[in-house]
A and B are shown apart, each in its own frame.
Chain A
């Protein structure tokens, strides 16, 4: 897979069909990968595809000037399609390398499973249904499905829907919706007061680093409402009330655009379970409008148009 990608990406750059290649390279920390964005052929040797390609790269083509060859997993491809619907990127400016995805390893979960921090793991490889690791010099095998992100259990489109070249053969969905929604069900099980207290506690931690917003491909506003100060919508500083307001409004803004890629939660340095909000919104949008994000690039964005059949119970 990797070799084919290197070869094809090299051709694209050489023939001037793209200005940049956006893929994954080896990270500078054990197991981690890092976005590799380059216009130089010699850098392409560093491209990797493995179960640690966590980043959703679909945000980059919006920022880069020119044509882009980009590597996407299933969820990322749907983010990219959503960006096409919003006219933030043009399909003809992209050459899409699709990676059929069996799930991405959640490093926090992995650390929990092996009872050691990730920097003790020097090597990890997916072998069939298992992940084989070298931890402190000794071999350890754990079931791969135990350490992937929660979002992956609920992934209905592990094979990208939109691509020019598929790297590898299609992967069928391997759903465990219940497991994917575990956290959300837990929250739904709380009574209103309990849930309010829970989120109050969570948002008291927020330091407004805007990691969640800035990694989110659906957050493409040129100037976010929190950065508008005439009028000022929310305080520029972190208070739990305004942190909550910020996140709730963000959740509504990305409704119908969020592909449940989970990057917001992964980026959060203080561990706020942000995906619970986003994933809940994915469910709501599906229930209310029958809309699934990033399926049809020619369809209008769900909240930018009106259908006579749209639910309007809220007005009654």
Chain B
């Protein structure tokens, strides 16, 4: 199937149509930060200002808080009602290539030995419409992790912004299906295809920040006992959870029971290895000092996850660099390990 295109001023009509049968999420800045919000029928002008969201799309599949089950004390014991997502189809429009890769990464985790029905139900019912980056941020370093700002095999459908129009290309069957249902599209010319490619190439060139992943696994291992290094790089960290919560691949959670005498619910919520109380409930946080917690975060991403799932759990989206109040920079930390 070839490339299609749609005029940007037709996006609103398209979104109104798509949102009839499913939940449609688009980038929005209406709340004072950029996130994926349900389409509200108002403005589809995000293509003019949107670079990436603050809260990654993982929040749509692995929400900050979700009730897993409800329980009630009945006469014959506890009655349990599982609260699985309703399975309504959803479309997420405007996912950047780094975040699309991040979803693939969290997919491997949530569908491993234990298949997580909450995450997977939402994922299986979702179609990811990617949007190639023309203007990466100065904090982006996706190219170091085999991701290209202008292309993606991790989405169902990929859009490229070529000016007044979005070029669309189906990547998966789901994407093809969605494309065939869209109205208001026209065929794109070969010239427009090459324009999209050029924009992608120039976006790639704009990315200057990088990490060197060659031999990193061994370097990570040998850095583990280097207490001085970890103490040095963690000194300024404030131990908040911002980097983990804005990270598209961080996936740690806590589970707690809210008990009101006879009934209650089991809730899971995001948790962060940066918190001193992390894992306190099941046993004890073995990482009492801050530097051990910082070390854990980078080792998890660049060593353990790679050992378990053969991929680094970082996509170079740069959110942790942008949002950190004290400018802890992952590229600096990995660079430092490579230089040890």
Contact with B along A99-121 (1 / 0, CB 8 A): 00000000000000000010100
B219-241 vs A, Cβ < 8 Å mask (1 yes, 0 no): 00000000000000001101111
Closest to A267 in B: B325
A298 to B258, CA, bound (A): 45
Q: Are B236 and A35 in contact (CB under 8 A)?
A: yes
Question: A237 near B238 (CB under 8 angstroms)?
Answer: no
Known contacts A209-B241, A209-B244, A211-B238, then 12 further A-B pairs from the complex at CB < 8 Å, ordered by chain A residue = A34-B326, A55-B325, A117-B51, A205-B33, A207-B64, A209-B272, A211-B241, A215-B325, A215-B326, A227-B276, A236-B256, A237-B267
Main DSSP-derived SS at the B contact region: loop
Q: 8 Å CB contacts to A: which residues of B298-340?
A: 321-323, 325-327, 329, 331-332
* Chain B residues with a Cβ closer than 8 Å to the other chain, count: 44
Is there contact, CB below 8 Å, between A117 and B327? Answer: no
A contact residues vs B (CB 8 Å cutoff): 27-30, 32-37, 55, 59-60, 63-64, 117, 119, 201, 205, 207-211, 213-215, 227, 229, 235-239, 263, 266-267, 269-272
Q: Which of B65, B137, B236, B258 contacts A37 (CB 8 A)?
A: B236
Residue of B nearest to A55 (CB): B326
Residues of A within 8 A of B65 (CB): 237-239
Q: 1/0 per residue B137-148: CB within 8 Å of A?
A: 111000000000
Return the chain A residue nearest B272 by Cβ.
A209
A269 and B246 in contact (CB under 8 A), knowing A119-B137, A207-B55, A236-B254?
Answer: yes
Binary per-residue interface labels of chain B (252-286) against chain A in the complex, 1 for a CB within 8 Å, 0 otherwise: 00101010000000011110100111000100000
Q: B54 — which chain A residues lie within 8 A by C-beta?
A: 269-270
CA gap between A30 and B242 in the complex, in Å: 20
Give chain A residues whose Cβ lies under 8 Å from the Cβ of B270. Answer: 207-208
List, in ascending order, chain B residues with CB within 8 A of A119's CB. 137-139
Looking at the complex, which one of A63, A210, A229, A237 makes contact with B64 (CB distance below 8 Å)?
A237
User: Are the C-beta atoms of B258 and A235 separated by less than 8 Å?
Assistant: yes
Q: For A28, what are the chain B residues with a Cβ–Cβ distance below 8 Å? A: 321, 327, 329, 331-332
**Complex Cα distance A238/B245, Å?**
12
B325 touches A29 (CB 8 A): no
A119 to B206 Cα, complex, angstroms: 12
For B64, the chain A residues whose CB sits under 8 A away are: 207-208, 237-238
B29 to chain A, nearest CB (A): 10
**Known interface pairs A28-B332, A35-B326, A119-B138. Does A210 touch B31 (Cβ–Cβ under 8 Å)?**
no
How far is it, in angstroms, between the C-alpha of A236 and the C-alpha of B269 when the chains are bound?
A: 8
24 residue pairs A–B, Cβ–Cβ below 8 Å: A28-B321, A29-B138, A29-B321, A29-B327, A34-B236, A35-B327, A119-B139, A201-B31, A207-B64, A207-B245, A209-B272, A210-B275, A211-B241, A214-B238, A214-B239, A214-B240, A237-B65, A237-B254, A267-B238, A267-B325, A269-B33, A270-B32, A270-B33, A271-B33
- Verify B327–A271 contact, CB threshold 8 A: no
Beta-carbon contact of A211 and B31 below 8 Å: no
Restricting to B195-215, which residues have a CB under 8 Å from any CB of A?
none
Complex Cα–Cα for A229 and B235 (A): 28
Nearest CB in chain A: distance from B237 CB, A = 9
**In the complex, per-residue mask of B34-62: 1 if CB is within 8 Å of any chain A CB, else 0:** 01000000000000000100110000000
Inter-chain contacts of A263 with B (CB < 8 A): 325
Contacts of B236 in A (CB 8 A): 34-37, 60
